[in-house]
Amino acid sequence: MPINIPCNLPAFETLSNENVFVMSDKDALRQDIRPLEVAIVNLMPTKIQTETQLLRLLSNTPLQVNVTFIRTATHISKNASTEHLVMFYTTFEDIKEKYYDALFITGAPVELLPFEQVTYWEELCKIMHWSKSHAFSTIHICWGAQAGLYYHYGIDKKELPRKLFGVFPQKVHVKNHPLFKGFDDVFNVPHSRYTENCIEDIKKHPALTLLVSSELSGAHIIADKTGRQVFVTGHVEYDRETLKGEYLRDVEKKLDTPLPYNYFPDDDPTKEPINSWFGHGSLMYSNWLNFCVYQKTPFKIEEIKPLTI
């Protein structure tokens, strides 16, 4: 089903060429339904790439999806043009009175910094506080997941001895959870990070449930007891070439980055990587929108009941 985005957003042409059902805002106005309102707080420096990856995952839903991209006002991206940000992004101050069915908070390349030293931390805290009353369901991704667990539940991240990098098998622990309808018991997910949230810290918190984890890559998906706050440490949104690009970049910088685990055939970086995760990733986000958002959000979106955390 269609995602409603401006026809001049770079992702529009890319997704159209992939036969992903995107709809221009002009065509969407002809349909008399209430679309899902989804906001994306995009903290990644690669704004356009992240936009395309997340919109691709949002394409399999029964209704129109209106997407609002939010940037930080306290930090200006060096990798996205001012023209792109002005044309397609808004700030928290401009939307803080609005309500959303769903919210994304992406990762960011700041995980080795203490949270309080991140330039936009205070602004992000305001957004996370606002999300409890103005977004029905929020998914936090990678560093965004670590930031959410720290802000909401006081669970700090811990530095790993070496970058966790590759595609790792994950095991579902709560098989009847709506996020995993149609899932296999084990599925693959890319991870790329220098820090982690310890499984022991998550399990002992009474408000949280560990839904998915891996013996190799640790905690992957955590949710609060209401199911409205979800924390995802991996990257099912990644393209086939994303880890390859990160690996080649790190090699060029002479960083001590391992070859991505379970990614290149025969561990040969000259061979095309195998995408073994996108099917489950697409299904998970479809389940999230269909079962955790669409069927539970009030029709009058402003009647969302605030979360008490």
Active-site annotation holder among 51, 235, 280, 292 = 235
When mean pLDDT is compared across 59-63, 107-111, 213-217, 287-291, the lowest value belongs to 59-63
- Residue 191 falls in the annotated catalytic set: no
E strands of 197-253, at which residues?
Answer: 208-214, 218-224, 229-232
Three-state SS for 294? helix
Q: Which of 53-57, 148-152, 215-219 has the least mean pLDDT? A: 53-57
Q: Is the pLDDT of residue 49 over 70?
A: yes
Asked whether 261 and 166 are in contact (CB, 8 A), the reply is yes
pLDDT score of 28 more than 50: no
| Active-site choice (51, 237, 280, 292) | 237
Per-residue pLDDT tens over the stretch 226-239: 999 999 999 999 99
Q: Which residues 6+ apart lie within 8 Å of 70 measured at CB?
A: 39, 40, 41, 42, 89, 90, 91, 92, 95, 127
- Residue 5 reports pLDDT greater than 60: yes
Q: What's the mean per-residue pLDDT of the chain?
A: 91
Q: Note the pLDDT of residue 75.
A: 87
- pTM to 2 decimals? 0.88
Average pLDDT over residues 239-263: 95
Which of 140, 142, 191, 292 is flagged as catalytic? 142
- Better-predicted residue by pLDDT, 123 or 16: 123
Output the six-digit token pair for 113: 């910094």
Q: Decide if 200 is catalytic.
A: no
What was the pLDDT predicted at 18? 60
Residue 140: HSE in the Cβ half-sphere, 13 Å Cα cutoff: 26
The predicted pLDDT at position 22 comes to 56
Instruction: Give yes or no for residue 31 having a pLDDT over 50.
Output: no
Beta bridge partners of 283: none
pLDDT band for position 29 (cuts 50, 70, 90): very low
Give me the pLDDT at residue 62, please: 66
At 209, list the tokens.
């449930």
Asked if 142 is an active-site residue, the reply is yes
Check residue 257 and give its pLDDT. Answer: 92
